[in-house]
Amino acid sequence: MASVLVTGCAGFIGSHLVELLLEQGHRVTGLDNFDPFYDRAQKERNLGSCSHHPRFHFHEVDLRRGLDGLVDALPADPVDVVVHLAAKAGVGPSVREPVAYLENNVVGTTHLLEWMRLRGIQKLFFASSSSVYGNTREQPFREDMNLLATCISPYAASKLAGEQLTYTYHHLHGLDVLNARFFTVYGPRQRPDLAIHKFVRLLHAGQPIPVFGNGTSARDYTFVLDTVAGIAQGVAYLLGHTGVYETINLGNNRPVSLLELIQAVGEAVGREPQLSFQPMQPGDVDVTYADIAKAQRLLGYSPRTTLAQGLQAFVHWLTLEEAAAGPR
């Protein structure tokens, strides 16, 4: 089994990944800076099931601060592969705070790559985003599309810049890289700012759901455990191959319109949604739609969770979270 470093380990996707890697027998070192974008307590709960696991070690490190935090936290720990999930996420907030996104997602990634170079760590799984495709008209989105003029938010630009950085280190220093473009991941532990989380809370409170645009915008919703299975397959691929530089889509290959999603969320909660139509938000794309043939061929990636199953799992988790929090 391998030693895997997971950045952003206390987040939504990262915490699920840590659990799976431990189940598979790997040794896992986790880094997180507990960015205040949402409640630190939720992130600490995310790690609750593995925080005392003998093969898991956690360090609070902010990658923006340079190499010192990494050097101090991991002076000689063996690392076979790095899974870089740490990032400031969200399209809308990036429009309002572009500098913070570039500091976290570009400068922080550069510090990590430099630390890997100095330590001689040669394998990286980099979490990119479907946002890099922007409003590309050709669908489904393929990894070989020209993305020269597609980014329409600072978040998307920061993720595409990250991909360019990983290629630079592959070219100059022989780094083996798998870039994975995630497509609208949802499920238990989802960030509270994301649509499904908001919609369920609004339904529980009997409040209307905002519909940005006319409701025909669509997303390739991918259940978190399907995404995490793809990451673990990517780790195995990197460990078994050298001379690698590949970019893949980790999506579900089925866009769901906003109105379809709201109806499905209402069915999962057991309430009929009330709608409040509003203008489209700056930076939002019309459709995301993943071609996953390459991930299937390279990794054996195969998402299995239906939207109804995934929403039921999320509603069950949020109900438990709200019960534990008590009256507000």
**178, two tokens:** 């798998």
* pLDDT of 284: 85
Question: Which band of pLDDT confidence, cut at 50, 70 and 90, is reported for residue 76?
Answer: confident
Q: What is the pTM of this model?
A: 0.96
Q: Per-residue confidence at 260, pLDDT binned at 50, 70, 90?
A: very high
3-class secondary structure, 141: strand
Q: Is residue 328 pLDDT above 70, yes or no?
A: no
Q: What length does the chain have?
A: 328
CB 28 within 8 A of CB 17: no
**Would you say 299 and 234 are in contact if contact means Cβ atoms under 8 Å apart?**
yes
9 found inside a domain: yes
Kindly report, residue by residue over 288-323, the tens digit of the pLDDT.
999 999 999 999 999 999 999 999 999 999 998 887
How many independent structural domains does the chain possess?
A: 1
3-state secondary structure of 246: strand
Q: Establish if 78 belongs to a structural domain.
A: yes
Render pLDDT for 96-109 as a digit per residue (tens, 0 to 9): 999 999 999 999 99
Active site residues: 155
Question: Residue 276: CB partners within 8 Å, gap ≥ 6?
Answer: 208, 209, 210, 211
**What pLDDT, on the 0 to 100 scale, is given for residue 326?**
65
pLDDT at 134: 95
Q: How many CB atoms lie within 10 A of CB 214?
A: 11
- Whether residue 98 lies inside any domain: the answer is yes
Report the amino acid identity of residue 275: L
CA-based end-to-end distance of the chain: 45
Question: Taking a C-beta distance cutoff of 8 angstroms, is the pair 230, 180 a contact?
Answer: yes
Asked if the structure places residue 105 within a domain, the reply is yes
What percentage of the chain exceeds 70 in pLDDT? 99
pLDDT of the residue at 166 = 98
Is 160 inside any structural domain? yes
Which pLDDT value is given to residue 197? 96
Distance CA 325, CA 328 (A): 8
In-domain check, residue 213: no
pLDDT at 264: 98
* Domain enclosing residue 131, as ranges: 3-183+223-251+291-304
Reported as a single tens digit per residue, the pLDDT across 129-158 is: 999 999 999 999 999 999 989 999 999 999
Identify the helix (H) or strand (E) that includes residue 278: strand 275-278
Mean pLDDT in residue range 233-252: 98
CA distances in angstroms from 168 to 11, 161, 164, 171, listed in the order given:
27, 11, 6, 5
pLDDT at residue 282, rounded to an integer: 86
Q: State the pLDDT at residue 327.
A: 61
- CATH number for the domain spanning 50: value is 3.40.50.720
Q: Give the rounded percent of residues in the chain with a pLDDT score beyond 90.
A: 87
Share the mean pLDDT of the chain.
Answer: 95
Residue located via tokens 């050298």: 242
How do residues 169-224 score in pLDDT, each as one tens digit? Answer: 999 999 999 999 999 999 999 999 899 999 999 999 999 999 999 999 999 999 99
Is 262 inside a domain boundary?
A: no
DSSP β-bridge partners for residue 127:
180
Q: What burial class does residue 99 get, using C-beta atoms within 10 Å of its C-beta: 0-12 exposed, 13-18 middle, 19+ buried?
A: exposed
The helix-helix angle for 307-325 and 258-269 (nearest 10°) equals: 50
pLDDT at position 77 over 90:
no
Q: How far apart are CA 223 and CA 310, in angstroms?
A: 6
The pLDDT of 253-258, averaged and rounded, is 96
How many whole angstroms separate alpha carbon 306 and alpha carbon 128? Answer: 23
Is the distance from CB of 66 to CB of 103 less than 8 angstroms? no
Is 65 part of a structural domain of the chain? yes
Phi-psi bin for 249: left (phi > 0), alpha (psi -120 to 50), beta?
A: beta
Instruction: Tell me how crowded residue 208 is: count the other CB atoms within 10 A of its CB.
Output: 12
